[in-house]
Structures are given as C-alpha cells and as structure tokens.
Amino acid sequence: MSRGLTVAGRRLELVRGDITTQALDAIANAANAALRGGGGVDGAIHTAAGPGVLDELRSRYPSGTPTGTAVATAAGRLKARWLIHAVGPVWTGGTHGEEALLAAAYRSSLAAADRLGARSLALPAISLGIYRFPLRAGARIALDAVLHHFGGETSLELVRFVLYSDETLSAFSVALDELAPPA
Ligand code: APR
C-alpha cells in the first residue's frame, strides 16, 4: 500500500518498506548524535552500506552532530548517491523541545539534500522507534516539514517516506489526510 500527493509540482510519497532498498539520490538515516551507528534503521543502513560509511563519519565528524541536525556522507553499497544522517530527539515527555527538535532534524535533512543537489530523497520515521516519539505527532511533524519545504526553492522533485510497519504507514496516511485533504 502506498499514498502520494503532488504539491507545487513536487511529489510526496508514503510507502511501506525497507529504506535500504531505495534507489533514490539520497537516503536519510535516523542516527544518534555520536554518529557511530546503532540499531533500528541506523543498523540496517550501516549493514547494507558497508563499513566505509562509518569510516567517513569518524573522519569527517569526529565529534558527531547535535540533535536536530544532519550530516551527509557517501552511501557505500546502497543504491543511492548519498546518505544523510539526521539526529532526532529522544522523547522525554514533550517538555524539552522535542517537537521543535524533530522538525529541525527533518528540515536539516531536506536542506542537506538541497546542498547536494539531490532530486529525490527517502526519509525514515525519525525518532518514532527507539527514541519513543509519539507516532501521530511525529508523523504530522514529518509531513509538515516536507510540505513546508516544497513551498520554497528546492532541488527535490520527490520525497518518499519509507515506513517499516503498517501501523507507521497508517499514522502517516492519517496525518497526510489531516494536513492535505484529498483533492
Ligand atoms: N527501513 C525503514 N524504516 C526502518 C527500518 C528500515 N530498514 N528499520 C527500522 N525502521 C523504522 C522503525 O520501525 C521506526 O519507525 O525507523 C523508524 C525509526 O526508528 P529507529 O531506527 O529506532 O530510530 P529512532 O527512533 O530515531 O532512534 C534512533 O536508534 O538505532 C539507534 O543509532 C540509532 O541511537 C539511535 C536511535
């Protein structure tokens, strides 16, 4: 099952799947601030991409990157040109600026894709796994960030959310209907 929406000539898609199989210009990762790999989508991406990505992260970003920001590397063995490692917030109840930090992580990923000149980008559901961010709120923040980005100058023609479970896909689908009712 998938969903899609065209805004200002740019395509936003929701699909169920494994982001490491995406053959798009850039694939975003849900990383941690240390940029040293981990479980979840971070683990899947490093396993599929190979050890060169971690080597590049260590040499180019020895101090990692703060929550709410994103950095780019090559994509190793993945069918993409670039990886964008975004750091979302850990959910601690909603009183520590988590919503703003999640929006910033998506905005940073989109800005990094534009700096690279990427025309297509695959995004995971940042912070909605190990970082325990609430599903419905996280989906709305994610879609709002992309729809806002589509309203400005961007090289992106396609942004595809690759969601790993029916539950997550459904939450994004409901949020998309709320943010952009069917034509
Ligand atoms: N493709 C797409 N999405 C995936 C994949 C995959 N192969 N594997 C997991 N996901 C989904 C999860 O189901 C969840 O919906 O990615 C979303 C984000 O979950 P996590 O990967 O747990 O990321 P996050 O919640 O942001 O936590 C980040 O986890 O792996 C560590 O190093 C990472 O410390 C960081 C933390």
Q: Which of 165, 139, 119 is nearest to 15 (CA)?
A: 165
Pocket lining for ligand 1, CB < 6 angstroms: 18-20, 30-32, 38-44, 88, 124-131, 162, 164-165, 168
What pTM, to 2 d.p., does this model score?
A: 0.97
pLDDT at 113 over 90: yes
Which active-site residues does the annotation give? 42
Ligand 1 atom nearest to 162, measured from its CA = 2
User: What percent of the chain shows pLDDT beyond 90?
Assistant: 95
Ligand 1 atom nearest to 88, measured from its CA = 26
pLDDT at 107 over 60: yes
Provide mean pLDDT across the span 70-81: 98
* CA–centroid distance, residue 71 to ligand 1 (Å): 17
pLDDT at 77 over 80: yes
What pLDDT, on a 0 to 100 scale, did the predictor assign at position 157?
98
Computed over its alpha carbons, how large is the radius of gyration of the chain? 15
What pLDDT, on a 0 to 100 scale, did the predictor assign at position 8?
87
Alpha-carbon distance 183 to 180, whole Å?
8
Q: In which residue are the tokens 């479980």 written? A: 39
Convert the pLDDT of each residue in 31-58 to its tens digit: 999 999 999 999 999 999 999 999 999 9
Instruction: Tell me the pairing of strands 82-87 and 70-74.
Output: antiparallel
pLDDT at 182 over 60: no
* CA–centroid distance, residue 67 to ligand 1 (Å): 15
* CA–centroid distance, residue 6 to ligand 1 (Å): 27
CATH number of the 10-179 domain = 3.40.220.10
- Inter-residue contact 154 to 107 (CB < 8 Å): no
- Inter-residue contact 49 to 78 (CB < 8 Å): yes
Q: In which residue are the tokens 């998938």 written? A: 2
Ligand 1 atom nearest to 36, measured from its CA = 32
Convert the pLDDT of each residue in 125-145 to its tens digit: 999 999 999 999 999 999 999
Q: Which of 98, 96, 74 is nearest to 87 (CA)?
A: 98
Phi and psi at residue 132, to the nearest 5°: 60, 25
Alpha-carbon distance 119 to 84, whole Å?
14
* Per-domain residue ranges of the chain: 10-179
Element (H, E) at 31: strand 26-31
